[in-house]
């Protein structure tokens, strides 16, 4: 009913639309697999025309958020002409990879934020992607890619989206198994070198460049990669100022403190106070100091006066003495009590130890990251 109303009544002043469908309603005679995989628009209409959303124009729509938990959204060709004013687009958890989606992106070159998540309906061995062409999104600043069960989908989407001015990137997977082998290597190679082929196996005369040269913030907390792959990524992104890492990745970074020399803010949810202090000390000794490191118990950061006058702080010992400890619960005052910050960290970890987004951080689940 709601879809029909939208398709027949175009709200001229609508700026934001969040549409969430917990369960599509199918007739017993509907072929849901055919609906998802239908290649021809007429076939889709014949199967179930009620699944079309936004069949009319929305001239002022800026934010579109689509969420479906039982089927993949269908992108008819006319979407490219009906939706041309988007700034923010989010499609979860069943984002398609199709000419319809790329057509929608191409019609919105002003897009600033894009969030896509693959679902259970991506079938690269069935769907023909040969006609999909790369899309240039020069205005895109934030990109969030989440793979529920298919790393190939991530590679396809990232290699299709050309965003030279992208500043914030998050790659997330809740299933580390699907990021094994060649798929993971291809993804790392594309991000680091702009090529799906490992740089060691390519032509020595070829010119390589990172896929997103303007990137400033990179979240790899749920991005399973080996030590060498992580190191390759960090070496290819010296301009990064903000990283969100898991504990093992932070340890790798501390082994080469000269990497990412412009790093200002480091977030490592499960790092210990001692581990955080070690990273700060090693970075200071390498003359690549970090302004702040955040963890679940709070943060350790330099006061504004020291940040503005790095050169006047002097040697490593002087710099380390300038760092202030801030409790997780206090944002404006300096705690100054290392023991209390440590206790807060332990309490916070116990409180959230069962949360799914942190399940890979437990010691008994971190074997994947122990290999080189």
Q: What is the pLDDT of residues 91-149, one digit of tens each?
A: 876 666 677 788 889 999 999 999 998 755 555 555 556 678 899 999 999 999 988 66
**290 lies in some domain:** no
Q: Could you tell me which residues are beta bridge partners of residue 266?
A: 243, 293
With a pLDDT cut of 70, the percent of the chain lying above it is 57
| Angle at 36 (CA atoms; ends 170, 3), nearest 5 degrees | 85
Greater confidence, 175 or 337?
175
CA–CA gap between residue 130 and residue 118 (Å, rounded): 19
Instruction: Please name the residues in contact with 332: beta carbons below 8 A apart, sequence gap of 6 or more.
Output: none
Q: Distance (Å, rounded) from C-alpha 283 to C-alpha 327? A: 22
pLDDT of res. 105? 92
Instruction: Please check the confidence at residue 55 and state whether its pLDDT lies above 70.
Output: no
Cα 338–341–343 angle (5° rounding)?
Answer: 110
Number of helical (H) and strand (E) elements in the chain, helices listed first: 14, 14
pLDDT for 151 = 72
State pLDDT tens for residues 223-235.
888 899 899 999 9
Poorest-pLDDT segment among 63-72, 263-272, 351-360: 351-360
Give the mean pLDDT of 40-52.
48
pLDDT confidence of residue 365: 45
- Confidence check: pLDDT of 239 > 50: yes
Q: Is residue 356 part of a domain?
A: no
d(CA 342, CA 74): 50
Residue 267 lies in a domain: yes
Distance, CA of 316 to CA of 319 (rounded, Å) = 5
Q: How confident is the model at residue 262 (pLDDT cuts 50, 70, 90)?
A: very high
> Average pLDDT of 285-314?
76
Residue 73 domain-assigned (yes or no): yes
Summarised one tens digit per residue, pLDDT across range 319-356 is: 677 888 887 655 545 555 455 555 555 554 444 443 33
Question: What mean pLDDT, rounded, does the chain reach?
Answer: 74
Full domain range(s) for residue 177: 2-284
Tell me whether residue 303 is in a domain: no
Residue 343 is assigned to a structural domain of this protein: no
Regarding predicted confidence, which is higher, 72 or 130? 130
Into how many domains does the chain fold?
Answer: 1
Tokens for 252? 């790798």
Tokens 């404006």 correspond to 332
Q: How confident is the model at residue 208 (pLDDT cuts 50, 70, 90)?
A: confident
- Can you give the pLDDT at residue 195? 75
Residue 358 covered by a domain = no
Domain harbouring 104, CATH code: 3.80.10
Residue 331 counted as domain residue: no
Burial label, 126 (beta-carbon count in 10 A; 0-12, 13-18, 19+): exposed
């Amino acid at each position: 009913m709601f879809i029909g109303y939208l398709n027949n009544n175009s709200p001229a002043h609508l700026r934001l639309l969040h549409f969430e469908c917990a369960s599509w309603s199918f007739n017993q005679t509907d072929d849901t697999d055919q609906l998802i995989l239908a290649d021809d628009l007429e076939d889709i209409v014949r199967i179930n025309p009620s699944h079309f959303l936004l069949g009319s124009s929305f001239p002022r729509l800026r934010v579109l958020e689509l969420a479906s938990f039982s089927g993949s959204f269908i992108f008819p060709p006319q979407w490219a002409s009906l939706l041309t004013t988007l700034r923010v687009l989010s499609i979860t958890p069943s984002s398609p990879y199709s000419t319809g989606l790329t057509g929608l992106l191409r019609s919105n070159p002003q897009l600033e934020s894009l969030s896509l998540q693959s679902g259970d309906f991506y079938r690269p061995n069935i769907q023909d992607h040969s006609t999909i062409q790369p899309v240039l999104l020069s205005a895109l600043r934030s990109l969030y890619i989440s793979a529920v069960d298919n790393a190939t989908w991530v590679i396809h989407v990232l290699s299709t989206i050309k965003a030279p001015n992208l500043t914030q990137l998050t790659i997330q997977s809740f299933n580390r198994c699907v990021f094994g082998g060649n798929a993971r290597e291809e993804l790392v190679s594309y991000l680091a070198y702009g090529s799906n082929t490992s740089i060691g196996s390519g032509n020595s005369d070829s010119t390589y460049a990172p896929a997103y040269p303007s990137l400033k913030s990179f979240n790899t907390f749920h991005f399973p990669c080996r030590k060498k792959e992580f190191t390759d990524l960090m070496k290819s992104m010296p301009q990064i100022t903000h990283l969100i890492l898991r504990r093992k990745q932070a340890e790798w970074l501390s082994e080469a403190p000269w990497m990412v020399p412009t790093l200002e803010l480091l977030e490592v949810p499960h790092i210990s106070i001692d581990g955080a202090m070690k990273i700060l000390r090693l970075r200071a000794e390498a003359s690549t100091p970090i302004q702040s490191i955040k963890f679940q118990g709070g943060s350790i950061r330099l006061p504004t006066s020291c940040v503005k006058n790095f050169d006047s702080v002097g040697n490593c010992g002087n710099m380390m003495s300038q760092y202030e400890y801030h409790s997780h619960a206090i944002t404006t005052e300096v705690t100054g009590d290392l023991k209390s910050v440590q206790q807060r960290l332990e309490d916070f970890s116990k409180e959230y130890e069962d949360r799914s987004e942190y399940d890979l951080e437990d010691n008994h689940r971190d074997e994947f990251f122990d290999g080189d």
